[in-house]
Amino acid sequence: MKIIKTIKLQLQGLSTSISRFPVSTLLSFILFILLIMLNEGSANGSDTDFLEKMALVTTLGFFLSVSLTQVLVRFATKLPKIPVSLAATLGFMALYYFLFLNEINSVTMIRLSGTLIFLILTIFYSLKKKNDEHYERYVMKIFSGFFITFLYAAVVFLGISFIILTINALFDANIDGKWYLYTFYASTFIFGTPLLLSKLPTKDELVADTSYSRVFRALLLYILIPLIMVYT
């Protein structure tokens, strides 16, 4: 009974993340569609250059929208969150697409990776600026949320994959193997991403009394948090 209640509480976070991060949730869904189109285009031998660029810039836009939403909620409460976040994210995506994605090569990917790391770190920095006293616990909450999300998404992926495998074996349905890949995309971007966003600490959330295992605490306090502090 306690397990069922815990699962229900975890799943309730999906609706919470949509209301807290509507732009990020939308971009996650768009990325899901783009990846499917990209796979279908590659299988058909079509030119997928545009889709690849859109998928890359959408990934950057997703992380920007998350950090930007955090900043707006914490430091600019009077501004309309959704219009500002949407406009800024789309503007950034358009500029990055036309300025830095003329072609995809090793230099482009290195630049994109650096930008991606920076955007991820800004999510942690937006938390630190407002809650410096218990910053390490906020970081712990994010990473613990990531591990929880990974477990739930893995269960969803394996469960659906097992159903497909069973149908294929029992009824000789000859289901294409690409559906396993699409199941992975769905469990990651449709289910996993909103669940992870729901785990991000809110502005007024108290985490000072949150308890974690000694190993998990040591890993974050002495390895991950110092690395984040160096880069920010």
pLDDT above 90 for 109: yes
Q: Which residue has the tokens 């768009």?
A: 30
Answer whether 101's CB lies under 8 Å from 57's CB. Answer: yes
Q: Which two tokens stand for residue 60?
A: 């950057």
The 10s digit of each residue's pLDDT in 63-101 is 999 989 988 887 777 788 889 999 999 999 999 999 999
First-to-last alpha carbon distance for the chain, in angstroms, is 43
Question: Is residue 14 within 8 Å of residue 198, measured between CB atoms?
Answer: yes
Q: Is the pTM of this model over 0.85?
A: no
Write b or e for each residue in 114-146: b if 16 or more Cβ atoms lie within 10 A of its Cβ, otherwise e: ebbebbebbbbbbbbebbeebbbbbbbbbbbbe
Give pLDDT, residue 170.
84
Number of structural domains found in the chain: 1
Question: What is the extent of the structural domain holding 12?
Answer: 1-231
Q: What is the pLDDT of residues 144-201, one digit of tens each?
A: 788 888 888 888 898 899 899 888 888 877 888 899 999 999 999 999 999 999 888 7
Average pLDDT, the chain: 81
